[in-house]
Chains A and B, each alone.
Chain A
């Protein structure tokens, strides 16, 4: 228990201190380089999914905005990088990622004005509608996006002009991991700031926050924009590490998958997003290999079990077990 006499800033400072678990976790992300060098491509996919899941956790887990259409921003980022390279011939990775984040963030900022107007079912439907809107738009603009065939001719240059994207995924995983870590640091700083506290206040009670003088719709717009930009960066990463963009980056499936990851791991915890992404992607890699048609049966079952018995996700469940023992 924290003593009651603590000040808000002291509390926040304590929250943002690094624990041994966290350091151990980030060291463990280096393990694939040594133990599973054949799975580095999968590992980089996981890092991308984790970054995307973190972006959704910011709005869903912390600010309480239920979204079923966040692939919109992932796809925007993916297509921004893809089009920059395939149509304009600019394949420099770092600036490409920044461009992806900027485009997605800009659209996110505009969309945030719509998002704060609605709640409950209407909110879910607006996010869903915006997601489908983007998908259909990309599908209709075949001349620009390549439609269902995907965008061809994406070429990503060497990072800093020195590190080529190799066939085994060494560069891809290193690069994705670094971007994930930076995105994580940013998110960690946000959720442990007074702004992050205000967001949790909105999640817990949207009516009381204005009553204590907190401009809740501005807070929501801000976090939505940040989240959109992060999702865009994740999408850009996918394009750069795979050198293709297909319509599936915008699909509802992707929006749903990321929420599933988040729920599996536990919402409102950044490590929950990462853990969920790891479990989901590895399970998909293994189960889909055995039986691609029925893989969603297990995910569905897992979802139902998690919602019924572990409402705070696997990480929340573990935390509760640990709390009970200690």
Chain B
């Protein structure tokens, strides 16, 4: 019983990490249909920025998180303006290949600057250790992670449902052409969304260091998880990403804990099954 609770809790925490990493891709993909496989690379960037500012500048972890967000967001603005913009009409194959090429370059660059070793960070004391609730010990950092993810979800839902930019984003996701016809500057909206989404990926990368570690394979390894979340949840849907990420996180941790031999096999089986049943994802609309 205790094991089950711990597995569910750890799985949910992992799922929330995946949510932060992937929600940006879901929204930008839903809006522009631009398949950005380099999304995980922005997460990796956030992770390495965190490591750098904590080691070189001595910034505390909690302040390193917004720096990671900003660094990834800024990098994504530059890349979107200079490179991605040329590819919106280029067809999915070219998008896939271009962004995979970027992942290769980012991975090699990370190897060049940091080596292939894991980059550990020192968490502040108040995030280490465990908290005992009802006789079960929960990791403090995982509680912190869940809290952050829930706060981000609340912010996103509020921002999308209640603000002007949110309404514009919804319009652009629903129908890009009509939104443009109504005088919305879809390119600009997309630029902002893209920066926010990549920033969240950067934040996710920073948060991930403690849970899954950070090395140059991060961009590639978590890309697969992120893509699963996005495609299962449905494009452009925050609810979908949330549910998809929670399911994947719990499924992954539970699978590896209870049936270690076929755990990862089950994940892909379920992925294929869900996509065949609902090709647009669980919460996708088109």
A associates with B: yes
Is there contact, CB below 8 Å, between B111 and A300? no
Tell me, rounded to whole Å, the shortest Cβ–Cβ distance linking B44 to chain A: 14
A304 CB contacts on chain B under 8 angstroms = 83, 98, 101-102, 105
A117–B272 Cα gap in the complex (Å)? 12
Contact flag A122-B35 (CB < 8 Å), given A263-B97, A299-B104, A311-B90: no
A124 CB contact (under 8 Å) in B86, B92, B94, B98:
B92
Interface size in chain B (residues, C-beta < 8 A): 45
- Whether B265 pairs with A126 at a CB distance below 8 angstroms is no
* Residues of chain B contacted by A311 (CB below 8 angstroms): 90, 94
Q: Is the CB of B276 within 8 A of A118?
A: yes
- A136-B265, A293-B108, A296-B107 given; A60·B93 CB < 8 A: yes
Task: Give 1 or 0 for each of A230-269: 1 = CB within 8 Å of chain B CB.
Answer: 0000000000000000000000100010011001000100
Q: Is A144 an interface residue (CB 8 A)?
A: no
**B268 and A297 form a contact (CB under 8 A):** no
Q: A121-B235, A293-B111 are in contact. Are A140 and B96 (CB under 8 A)?
A: no
Which of B62-70, B132-140, B196-204, B222-230 forms contacts with chain A? B222-230
Q: Is B271 an interface residue (CB 8 A)?
A: yes
Bound state CA distance, A118 and B277, in angstroms? Answer: 10
- With A129-B271, A140-B261, A311-B90 known as contacts, the answer to whether A293 contacts B276 (CB < 8 A) is no
Give Cα A256 to B99, complex, Å: 12
Q: How many Å lie between the Cα of A121 and that of B262 in the bound state?
A: 26
Q: Assess A126 versus B275: contact at CB under 8 Å? Given A121-B230, A121-B235.
A: yes
Query: Are B230 and A114 interface neighbours, CB within 8 A?
Result: no
Residues of B within 8 A of A128 (CB): 224, 227
Contacts of A299 in B (CB 8 A): 101, 104
Convert B262-274 into 0s and 1s, putting 1 for each residue whose CB lies closer than 8 angstroms to a CB of A.
1011001101100
B276–A114 contact, CB under 8 A? Answer: yes
Cα of A259 to Cα of B96 in the assembled complex, Å: 10
Report chain A residues within 8 Å CB of B147: none
Task: Check if B59 is an interface residue, CB within 8 A of chain A.
Answer: no
Asked if A283 is at the interface (CB within 8 A of a chain B CB), the reply is: no
Contact of B96 among A119, A124, A300, A302 (CB under 8 A): A124
* In contact, B108 and A125 (Cβ under 8 angstroms): no
Query: Which chain B residues border A293 with CB–CB below 8 Å?
Result: 108, 111-112, 116
| Interface residue A190 (Cβ < 8 Å from any Cβ of B) | no
Complex formed: what's the CA distance from A141 to B89 in Å?
Answer: 43
Classify the secondary structure of A's interface with B: helix
Assembly CA distance A140 to B259 (angstroms): 11
**How far is B96's CA from A284's CA once the two chains are assembled, in angstroms?**
22
Structural contact, A307 and B262, CB atoms closer than 8 A: no
- Per-residue CB contact flags for chain A residues 117-153 toward chain B (1 = under 8 Å, else 0) read 1111110111011101100110010000000000000
Interface residues of A in 259-304 (CB under 8 A from B): 259-260, 263, 267, 293-294, 296-297, 299-304
Given contacts A121-B35, A294-B108, A297-B104, contact A132 B98 (CB under 8 A): no
A122-B93 contact in complex given A128-B227, A133-B272, C-beta closer than 8 Å: no
CB distance from B12 to the nearest CB of A (A): 23
- Whether A296 pairs with B35 at a CB distance below 8 angstroms is no
Chain A residues whose C-beta falls within 8 Å of the C-beta of B262 in the assembled complex:
136, 140
Q: Does A4 contact B (CB under 8 A)?
A: no
Most chain A beta-carbon neighbours within 10 Å: one of B94, B272, B276 = B272
Q: Is B131 an interface residue when CB atoms closer than 8 A count as contact?
A: no
Known: A121-B235, A311-B94. Is A297-B105 also a contact (CB below 8 A)? yes
Q: Assess whether A297 is in contact with B108, with CB atoms less than 8 Å apart.
A: yes
**Contacting pair A300 B103 (CB below 8 A):** yes
B143 located at the interface, meaning its Cβ lies under 8 Å from any Cβ of chain A in the complex: no
CB pair B279–A118 under 8 Å, yes or no, is yes
Q: Which residues of A contact B8 (CB under 8 A)?
A: none
Proximity string of chain B (213-253) to chain A, C-beta cutoff 8 Å, 1 when within and 0 when not? 00000000000100110110001000000000000000000
Whether B98 contacts A122 by the Cβ 8 Å rule is no
Residues 101-139 of B, flagged 1 when their CB comes within 8 A of A and 0 if not, give: 111111111011000100000000000000000000000
Does any Cβ of B come within 8 Å of A63's Cβ?
no
- In the assembled complex, the Cα of A184 lies from the Cα of B230 at a distance in Å of 38
Closest Cβ–Cβ distance, residue A11 to chain B (whole Å): 26
CB distance B86 to A308 under 8 Å? yes
**Residue from A119, A125, A130, A307 within 8 A of B101 (CB atoms):** A307
Q: Is A40 an interface residue (CB 8 A)?
A: no
Bound Cα distance from A252 to B35, whole angstroms: 18
A179 at the interface (CB under 8 A from B): no
With A and B bound together, what is the CA distance between A118 and B271 in angstroms?
13
* Structural contact, B271 and A125, CB atoms closer than 8 A: yes
22 contacts between A and B (CB under 8 A): A66-B96, A114-B272, A117-B279, A119-B279, A120-B92, A121-B227, A122-B231, A122-B281, A124-B96, A126-B272, A128-B224, A129-B228, A132-B224, A132-B264, A136-B268, A140-B265, A293-B116, A294-B108, A294-B112, A297-B105, A304-B98, A307-B87
* Nearest 10 pairs of A and B residues by beta carbon: A300-B104, A303-B101, A297-B108, A300-B105, A136-B265, A304-B101, A122-B279, A133-B268, A300-B101, A307-B98
